[in-house]
Amino acid sequence: MSKRISIHGQWSSRLMFILAATGAAIGLGNIWKFPYLAGENGGGAFVLVYLLCLALIGIPIMMAEVLIGRRGRQSPVNTLHSLSVEAGASGSWRLVGWAGMLAGLVILSYYSVIAGWTLAYLMRMLSGTFVRVTAEGSGSIFAQLVTDPERLLAWHTIFMVMTIKVVSRGVTNGLEKAAKILMPMLFFLVLVLVAYATRNGDFAQAFNYLFYTDFSKLTPTGVLTAMGHAFFTLSLGMGAMLVYGSYLPSGVSIAQTSILVGLLDTLVALLGGLATFSIVFANGLAAGEGPGLIFQTLPIAFGQMPGGMFFGALFFLLLVFAAWTSAIVLIEPLVAWLIENREMERIRAAIWTGMVAWLLGIVTILSFSHWSFSFHFGGVLKRHGLFDVLDIVTSSIILPLGGLCMALFAGWVMARDSVVDELGGLAGVGFKLWYFIIRFITPAAMLLIFLRAIGVL
């Protein structure tokens, strides 16, 4: 079969793909979620297990998604359809693409609200709101923000416009340009913050917190958490990497680039964690967890430090960049599909898609105030009503099932020859190992992650 060409264009080089895919992978999850998960689950022991999961689950699934995308060269729905028909399998595999496309839309709806918080905090840092703030003061600034729907709506709108703007300009002038400009700045900001933290923070304690290896603190739950995070942090399971793979020039090694993206993502998570905890510990504050660490504890720490407002602003700028380069890929599959199947112009497709996500975001905004309610799920108390429902349905249910399907598709549905052809550079033992992992290990792991997420395990 002759090679397909994407009607949307392609990355102008291997480096551009690496930057774009790293941008998709590095998100809000890297800066706060990974460090506190590590701290809670035995530090270095968790980091080791996480690295193992990255090698055994994350990177192999990423390779599968990218190769499916490059083979099909269309939006996830059409790629999965064409490739399954080509392989003599049921065209229903395209439903995996549909699920991912809708999940992306829903995730963007709340991702944009949270990204709006980071924009709001960037402004607050710049205006000196947190100078010598007390714990109560910081808590109430946060509470005031999240229970003010109009303010949240304004920030959510700004972030959505930023996202639509990039996507509407297409692969080369939009997605690639954003990655080319924002990713080097993001890496630079991480380094600046680490340097600031080593000078002004308690680097030794942070290092100890993240890397002191205590296997007795590592539980089976911790292992499952590491597995789930290795998958989540690479933005897998919804067709994000698939659609980025569909713009990858042929001849670029999928194995090498995927490994590099996995390593860069981990590097930023570790450096971000070191900087955050150094600053938090230097001010005698508790490591805490979740959004509270970044939006409540960290501002108190910055408020007490020399140059704190400036470096605090840089920290939130880093988060804005991380969120922005992830948000754009959340709607790219749907936008690509609208262009392919509805013959829509890209700019219209991006505006429509963004508007739907924007409207849906109002549900999340109201979850923190007027529509708030709590419930139990998987043995955990969820406090933010519909926001938590949307988050659970997408990241705990659809994404792991999507990852399972991608692994099965590359491992069992596609002809072995097509897979070998796409993986090109990966020969001999390397290929055999990957093929075994993708056929047997990752499907089992995805099932475990799914069962854990819904509270069965």
Q: Cβ 334 to ligand TRP, closest distance in Å?
A: 12
Residues 278, 206 contacting (CB under 8 angstroms):
yes
Among 18, 28, 313, 338, binds ligand TRP (CB under 6 A): 28
Nearer to ligand TRP, 84 or 325 (CB): 325
The 329-368 contact track toward ligand TRP, x by CB under 6 A, reads xx--------------------------------------
Distance separating alpha carbons of residues 207 and 198, to the nearest angstrom: 11
371 burial type by CB count under 10 A (0-12 exposed, 13-18 middle, 19+ buried)? middle
Torsion 111-25-414-13 (CA) sign: positive
49 binds ligand TRP (CB under 6 A): no
Binding residue for ligand TRP (CB under 6 A) from 23, 29, 228, 403? 29
User: Radius of gyration of the chain from Cα atoms?
Assistant: 21
Amino acid at residue number 398: I
State the burial class of residue 340 (Cβ atoms within 10 Å of its Cβ: 0-12, 13-18, 19+).
middle
Per-position x/- string for 209-238, each x denoting binding to ligand TRP as judged by CB under 6 A, each - no binding: -----------------------xx-x--x
Distance of closest approach, residue 47 Cβ to ligand TRP, in angstroms: 16
Least distance (Å) between residue 212 CB and ligand TRP: 24
Q: Is 140 left (phi over 0), alpha (psi -120 to 50) or beta?
A: alpha
Rounded least distance, CB 36 to ligand TRP, Å: 13
Q: Which two tokens stand for residue 243?
A: 């659609």
Identify which of residues 78 and 118 has a Cβ nearer to ligand TRP in the complex: 118
Among 24, 61, 166, 408, binds ligand TRP (CB under 6 A): 24
Q: How far is the CB of 330 from ligand TRP (least distance, A)?
A: 5
Report, in Å, the least distance between residue 28 CB and ligand TRP: 5
Rounded to 5 degrees, what angle do the CA atoms 43, 48, 51 make? Answer: 125
Contacts with ligand TRP: how many residues (CB under 6 A)? 14
Residue 238 or 320 with smaller CB distance to ligand TRP: 238
Helix (H, G, I), strand (E, B) or coil at 287: coil
**Residue number with the shortest CB distance to ligand TRP?**
27
CB of 133 to ligand TRP, least distance (A): 27
Separation CA 48–CA 313 (nearest Å) = 32
**Cα distances (Å, whole numbers) of residue 434 to 24, 77, 84, 255, 431:** 23, 25, 21, 10, 5
133 vs 171, beta carbon nearer ligand TRP: 171
Among 246, 266, 283, 326, binds ligand TRP (CB under 6 A): 326
Shorter beta-carbon distance to ligand TRP: residue 283 or 325: 325
Q: Phi and psi for 374 in degrees, rounded to 5?
A: -120, 160
Neighbours of 169 (CB within 10 A): 17
Instruction: Identify the sign of the CA torsion 289, 292, 297, 298.
Output: positive
Instruction: Name the nearest CA neighbour of 106 among 291, 290, 238.
Output: 238
Cβ atoms of 240 and 61 closer than 8 Å: no
Shortest approach of ligand TRP to residue 37 CB, angstroms? 12
Return the half-sphere exposure (C-beta side, CA atoms, 13 A cut-off) of residue 292: 11
E strands in 36-101: none
Q: Closer CB to ligand TRP, residue 138 or residue 326? A: 326
Residue 365: Cβ within 10 Å count: 25
One-letter amino acid at 86 equals E
Closest approach, Cβ 428 to ligand TRP, in A, equals 32
Q: Residue 303, CB half-sphere, CA atoms under 13 Å: how many?
A: 21
Name the one range near ligand TRP by CB under 6 A: 8-16, 85-93, 325-333, 385-393: 325-333
Amino acid at 353: T
Closest to ligand TRP by CB, 261 or 363? 261
Nearer to ligand TRP, 262 or 411 (CB): 262
Q: Which is nearer to ligand TRP, 119 or 330 (CB)?
A: 330
Single residue of 6, 30, 112, 442 touching ligand TRP by CB under 6 A = 30
**Considering only residues 240, 294, 350, 438, which one is a binding residue for ligand TRP as defined by CB under 6 A?**
240
Of 401 and 426, nearer to ligand TRP (C-beta) is: 401
**CA gap 37, 40 in Å, rounded:** 5
Q: What x-and-dash track marks residues 281-320 binding ligand TRP by CB under 6 A? A: ----------------------------------------
Query: Which residues of the shown chain bind ligand TRP in the complex (CB under 6 A)?
Result: 24-25, 27-30, 232-233, 235, 238, 240, 326, 329-330
